[in-house]
Amino acid sequence: MTSADPSDNVLIEAGETIGATAGKVVATAKRTATAIGEEKERLSGVATQARSETRRVVKQGKREARKAVKSAKKVAASAKKSIKRVAKKLKRR
């Protein structure tokens, strides 16, 4: 069943062109969707890493604050003892 009618050939070529273009559009959309998915995964990983880093820095800050408070208490206690010692010596004179 071969048709030699030129209008049929034009229709066939137009259909093939439309099909090829539609295929390219679908492929591009698929590629874009894949790229967006990969970017979303990457950003999710970066967000998780940032959250973890923040948590670590906060814990470290708390630890440093506790150490500073402990050290200040020791210095205050030592100064208090020193003052008492000096006061006793002055009373003995």
Taking the C-alpha atoms of residue 39 and residue 60, their distance in angstroms, rounded to an integer, is 31
Q: Model confidence over 67-90: pLDDT tens digits?
A: 999 999 999 999 999 999 998 888
Q: Which helix (H) or strand (E) holds 1?
A: none
Joined tokens for residue 6: 């030129």
Q: Where are the domains of the chain?
A: 1-67
Report pTM. 0.48
Q: Model confidence over 25-69: pLDDT tens digits?
A: 888 888 888 888 888 888 888 889 999 999 999 999 999 999 999
